[in-house]
Structure 1
Amino acid sequence: MRDSYKEDRLRQRTVDLVSMSSVVNSEGERIMADKIKAILSDFDVFKKYPEYLRICPVKDDLNQRYSIMALVKKPGVTKTVLGIGHFDTVAIEDYGSLKSFAHQPQELAVQLKKSIQDPEILQDLENSNFLFGRGSLDMKSGIAIWLELLNELDQQNTGKNLLVCFVCDEEGNSKGMIDAIPFIRQMIDDHQLDVISAIDTDYTSPQFSGDTRRFLYGGTIGKILVQYLCVGKEAHAADPFAGIDANELVSALIEEINMNIAYCDKNDLDVTVPPITLSIKDDKQQYSVQTAKMASVTFNVATIGKDIREWEKLFFEAADKAQKRVLDKIDKNYQEYCSLKGILCSPLQNKVKIKSFRNDVNLDLNLGDNEDERDFSLRYVKKQASIDSGAQIILFLSMPYYPHHTLDKNIAKHQEFVDEMFACAPEYTYLPYYPYISDLSFVSRANPKDIDAIRQLIPGYDKLNRVDWVSLDELNVPMMNVGPWGKDAHKFTERVYVPSILEVYEILEKYLAK
């Protein structure tokens, strides 16, 4: 039987959080952190034990953002669950003319009814169990769960402590979680906690139309950002065969890699989505009839099995296929053009070198204020490329890097964790990897060989990296994601199914009581 009182509290808590903008990389994140800190400070447990509430500043942050840690500790209990939730959201530009309603769930639903034609969305708009608005699903409903648990847990007899980290910047570079790791380690040491598991309450969604299953995710996918800098051979637009168009090289890379299932990662447990482009740009700052000398493309690549060196080999080979396709096309078109023109066809003798970047040259470059980390890495490679000559494709990686993890049921404490969670959520379906990337990447040990590889493949790594990999080795806890269920995260029709917020609350309440 549903606890309507608790469900209403969770709904209202979610509405209150959604009503405040906390778009990633904005001062709204700091204001939201202030709000969460104020809510927690008003709980009796933190009035009594203020030392159990700590802030974790993001280093060198222009918006002075910070994350918050909150601990409820039971007398004589050392077993501790680490809870995680991010309070930032993606931007609201996708709401278009309805931007002013993005943080007003009730008013937004009224406005959406006037324009939405999709029958499934219309049906959900008529269902009071769905709550619309930016962050309703991803993931302020998950934050509401942790707030209610921290408030209630103080009055309950439980077999576990609860340490929750409310983090910023998950939708950006996960700086909130990454910079909180040393603070988490300090809290663990200060209070002699034995962290037995980490649980994220990030959202879950249908895997196909009509899917109403709920999920326990025993891990998370990883992510690498694969970038290519294509250096062409510039030419006048009236003499295109005298050069190699850098944009043509980028186009060939996209044709080879983008949405190509040959580049899905797979193992015995799962298969990832294929790579997708995130950005394309060339170096021309103004109009001219000269072809582009340099152009770049960035691919988002989900990982679950391959190590970094395997990916490097695969994407090196992809670049080789792309350059051959371009040169064959240029040669073929040039011969046909010469035939049409009735002129002598001299061999073009074009060559494109393929290179993997290495951090073996120390360049005097620093990350600029407000400079995007991807742009910094690209600038780093461009400066190194300018030393070389000739057409080339340079493969490199960019921040952020997210390691993949999954529970190993051959490890006793992992299997025990799964069994305990299933006992609390018997109707849920277990899947090995959370499919949307998450801060769970930073609660467990990464493959040392992969760390060595990214140190070489990410330009300016030492100036960009902020992950304390040693602390992750020390933390190294089994993880799971169990979050509210809803639809259309990162879309203007984002919505959470309110009864699922209560479901997750009750699952975690049972787990903490054991």
Structure 2
Amino acid sequence: MLEFTREGMLNLTRELVRIRSVSHTAGENEAADAIFSLLAKEDYFRDHPEFLRFLPVEEGGLQRRAVLAFVEAGEPVSRTVLLNGHFDVVDTDVCGDLADLAFDADAYTAAIGRRDIPEEAREDLASGNWLFGRGVMDMKAGLAVHMAYLAHMARHRDELGVNLLFLAVPDEEGSSVGMRGSLSGLCGFIRERRLDLVAALSGEPAFWTSKTTGESRPHRVLFTGTTGKIMPLFFCIGREAHVGYAFDGVNAAAIAARVVCLMDACPDLIDGSGPDTLTPPVCLKLKDLRDTYSVTLPERAAAYFNVLTVSRSPLDMLNICRDVAQRALDETLAGIKEAGRRFQQRSGRRDTPVPDWQSSVFTVHELTERLAGELGAEEAEKRLRNFTEALPENMDEREKGLAVLDHLVSLLNLKGPAVVVGFLPPYYPQRINLRATDKERRLRSIMEGVLDDLEKSVGQVSLVDCFSGIMDLSYMGFQGRPDELNTLAENMPGWGTVFSLSMKDLMSLDVPIASVGPSGKDAHKDTERLELDYSFTVAPKMLERVIRELSVTSDEGVATRSAEAPSRRP
């Protein structure tokens, strides 16, 4: 029996940590089975087995599964709160000789002091109020709190004014295959039961800011929104030439390098403002697309970027990328022409004129439409699909996307100088509390009330509009127009095979989010640790309070502290 007590939740955390559910391993299936089995032992789910189920999230690969559980309120209501978390963890390579021990939280806590760890971690270890180990805070403890609360309320449904919908997923640490893959099953259950999701609560931990971040004091951070992430791709096409006659051609690598100079860390491309200001684009890969040595100018090269968003849609980003691509082409060709002029001047030769190149910028969608025009829509789709499905299953998703686009360019025999702009996986929509709906205003107001009381009782807590990391609750809807979202699908090579997302289900949701999880430090590090008193005393009470206040059918009794919407468009 799952117990909603400090000791019960701590023991459940230990039990979940022992499962080696490293992302992209069979351990994720073991974790799903364990969570399902623990809940299945509860009387409520024995009586209502239809309310506990696995949701398949992928057709091939490991055939991983999410776990969905549903507890009805004492009186029939449609209002429902989603409790969400992930059970995968990152690997333990950073733990060195203690790597295997990291899945035994008590043993790892006893041993971690032997390593060379930061003074702050050593102080926490000495306090006795912190538990170390892989996944203790990211996020097995959050799952433990949610599972214990779910089981507790299943025994006390007369005290429950909203339905509870629990969803535990794999692969949050990768590209959110778990959340994306379970979206259709989740939305299907919501439609089947005619539920109204009033909020989605994450069990992600309240991250402590470090003493080294420049903050006036270290403190825990809660959030009511999360950043989006998009991966713009620039596929650069040059003109081949022998390096001895370099001015006869255009080096695709030079175009790609110019793109990186214009995009990487560009302050003009920073999104957000104030505390929601996000870091600028970062180039994650720059490479030419040939595998062998050659003294021919590289004809094709690519660069892709990590871009965080708080207001921009895929359509916004595509337009930005078009402008960057054209500028990169113009500057590269101008540089070649000037270098050719100076070469002629210095050598006295006139037999190496630089061609007056005409450059082009295309989108992936424009190229697929051109192929459909040449081959017919059915044949064009067949050729691209057959190529995509033949790619190795274990090939990186981004490399698959590049390969598909490279194949498309080859089918069209497209010559440069040109740049094709589009996107690569993954994609996370931003989910910001805009105070635009009653649900948003209500949840934000409740969280502000929680913050006020937390600061009085435990201190050192702040509430932010936008969690600057990436998380699964991004998929609780799309804050924009359908055409803005369609831009993503139309311009991602291998969409539906390499990367998939149910657009219909995503557009059907519009659910405000908040974090109500435990507290910890140093996720993914060898010093990952969980703050015990807050996590198993304060956080459970916070979860109870938020759900109790969400049970109220009107805004009566809940102060509206956030009447003004933030100054950003959806």
Report if TM-score (shorter chain) is over 0.5. Answer: yes
Partner of 2:431: 405
1:483 aligns with 2:490: no
Mapped to 1, the partners of 2:433 and 2:486 lie a distance apart of: 23
Partner of 2:552: none
Q: Cα deviations across residues 105-129 of structure 1 (Å, max 9, x unaligned)?
A: 3444455434425333333343432
Mapped to 1, the partners of 2:88 and 2:490 lie a distance apart of: 31
Deviates more, 1:99-108 or 1:147-156: 99-108
CA RMSD of aligned residues (A): 2.9
> What letter matches 1:400 in structure 2?
P
Partner of 1:365: 384
CA contact (8 A) 1:446 1:469 kept: no
Partner of 1:392: 418
How many residues are treated as equivalent by the alignment? 511
Deviates more, 1:318-327 or 1:274-283: 318-327
Partner of 2:361: 354
> What letter matches 2:311 in structure 1?
G
Mapped to 1, the partners of 2:20 and 2:446 lie a distance apart of: 36
* Aligned residue runs from structure 1 range 64-103, under 5 A: 64-78=63-77, 79-103=79-103
Partner of 1:183: 185
Match of 1:510 among 545, 551, 558: 545
Q: CA deviation at 1:200?
A: 1.4
Mapped to 2, the partners of 1:114 and 1:341 lie a distance apart of: 67
Query: Aligned in 2, Cα 1:98/1:415: closer, same or farther, shift over 3 Å?
Result: same
> What letter matches 1:9 in structure 2?
G
Match of 2:534 among 500, 503, 512: 500
Query: Aligned in 2, Cα 1:493/1:454: closer, same or farther, shift over 3 Å?
Result: same
> What letter matches 2:323 in structure 1?
E
CA contact (8 A) 1:223 1:303 kept: yes
> What letter matches 1:377 in structure 2?
G
Partner of 2:198: 196
Q: CA deviation at 1:81?
A: 0.8
Match of 1:228 among 214, 226, 234: 234
CA contact (8 A) 2:232 2:317 kept: no
Runs of 4+ in 1 over 6 A off after TM superposition: none
Deviates more, 1:300-309 or 1:473-482: 473-482
Query: Aligned in 2, Cα 1:262/1:343: closer, same or farther, shift over 3 Å?
Result: same
* Aligned residue runs from structure 1 range 208-223, under 5 A: 208-209=213-214, 211-223=217-229
> What letter matches 1:378 in structure 2?
L
Partner of 1:55: 54
Q: CA deviation at 1:140?
A: 1.6
Q: Cα deviations across residues 122-164 of structure 1 (Å, max 9, x unaligned)?
A: 3334343233333222222211111111122223322222110
CA contact (8 A) 2:384 2:408 kept: no
Structure 2 counterpart SS, 1:126: helix
Q: TM-score, normalization: structure 1?
A: 0.89
Partner of 1:12: 11
* Aligned residue runs from structure 1 range 101-250, under 5 A: 101-109=101-109, 112-116=112-116, 118-156=118-156, 157-207=159-209, 208-209=213-214, 211-237=217-243, 240-250=246-256
Q: Percent identity?
A: 27
Query: Aligned in 2, Cα 1:349/1:93: closer, same or farther, shift over 3 Å?
Result: farther
* Aligned residue runs from structure 1 range 426-465, under 5 A: 426=452, 427=454, 428-447=461-480, 448-464=482-498
CA contact (8 A) 1:445 1:472 kept: yes
Q: CA deviation at 1:267?
A: 5.6
Structure 1 counterpart SS, 2:420: strand
Q: CA deviation at 1:77?
A: 3.8
CA contact (8 A) 1:202 1:483 kept: yes
Q: Cα deviations across residues 388-436 of structure 1 (Å, max 9, x unaligned)?
A: 1123221111232222122232422322222233334423533222221
> What letter matches 1:436 in structure 2?
G
Match of 2:399 among 372, 375, 380: 375
Partner of 2:564: none
Mapped to 2, the partners of 1:377 and 1:493 lie a distance apart of: 36
> What letter matches 1:145 in structure 2?
V
Q: CA deviation at 1:170?
A: 1.8
Q: CA deviation at 1:56?
A: 0.2
Structure 2's unaligned 5+ residue stretches are: 372-379, 455-460, 550-570
Q: CA deviation at 1:73?
A: 1.7
Query: Aligned in 2, Cα 1:344/1:114: closer, same or farther, shift over 3 Å?
Result: farther
Deviates more, 1:472-481 or 1:110-119: 110-119
Mapped to 2, the partners of 1:70 and 1:215 lie a distance apart of: 28
Mapped to 2, the partners of 1:240 and 1:501 lie a distance apart of: 63
Query: Aligned in 2, Cα 1:311/1:190: closer, same or farther, shift over 3 Å?
Result: closer
Mapped to 2, the partners of 1:329 and 1:123 lie a distance apart of: 56
Q: CA deviation at 1:327?
A: 3.5
CA contact (8 A) 1:161 1:512 kept: no
Query: Aligned in 2, Cα 1:117/1:38: closer, same or farther, shift over 3 Å?
Result: closer
Partner of 1:283: 289
Q: TM-score, normalization: structure 2?
A: 0.81
Query: Aligned in 2, Cα 1:193/1:355: closer, same or farther, shift over 3 Å?
Result: closer
Partner of 1:309: 315
Deviates more, 1:236-245 or 1:26-35: 236-245
Q: Cα deviations across residues 214-233 of structure 1 (Å, max 9, x unaligned)?
A: 33322222111111112233
Mapped to 2, the partners of 1:490 and 1:277 lie a distance apart of: 22
Deviates more, 1:291-300 or 1:363-372: 363-372
Q: CA deviation at 1:50?
A: 1.9
Deviates more, 1:52-61 or 1:285-294: 285-294
Mapped to 2, the partners of 1:333 and 1:24 lie a distance apart of: 49
Q: Cα deviations across residues 188-233 of structure 1 (Å, max 9, x unaligned)?
A: 3444433221111223324535553333322222111111112233
Mapped to 2, the partners of 1:243 and 1:125 lie a distance apart of: 62
CA contact (8 A) 1:267 1:304 kept: no
Q: Cα deviations across residues 163-206 of structure 1 (Å, max 9, x unaligned)?
A: 10001122223222223233223433444433221111223324
> What letter matches 2:25 in structure 1?
S
Structure 1 counterpart SS, 2:99: helix
Structure 1's unaligned 5+ residue stretches are: none
Q: CA deviation at 1:510?
A: 2.0
CA contact (8 A) 2:430 2:478 kept: no
Q: CA deviation at 1:57?
A: 0.7
CA contact (8 A) 1:434 1:481 kept: no
Mapped to 1, the partners of 2:6 and 2:340 lie a distance apart of: 69
Mapped to 1, the partners of 2:189 and 2:405 lie a distance apart of: 40
Deviates more, 1:396-405 or 1:60-69: 396-405
Mapped to 2, the partners of 1:263 and 1:345 lie a distance apart of: 42
Structure 2 counterpart SS, 1:212: coil
Mapped to 2, the partners of 1:95 and 1:329 lie a distance apart of: 49
Mapped to 2, the partners of 1:343 and 1:375 lie a distance apart of: 43
Mapped to 1, the partners of 2:222 and 2:57 lie a distance apart of: 30
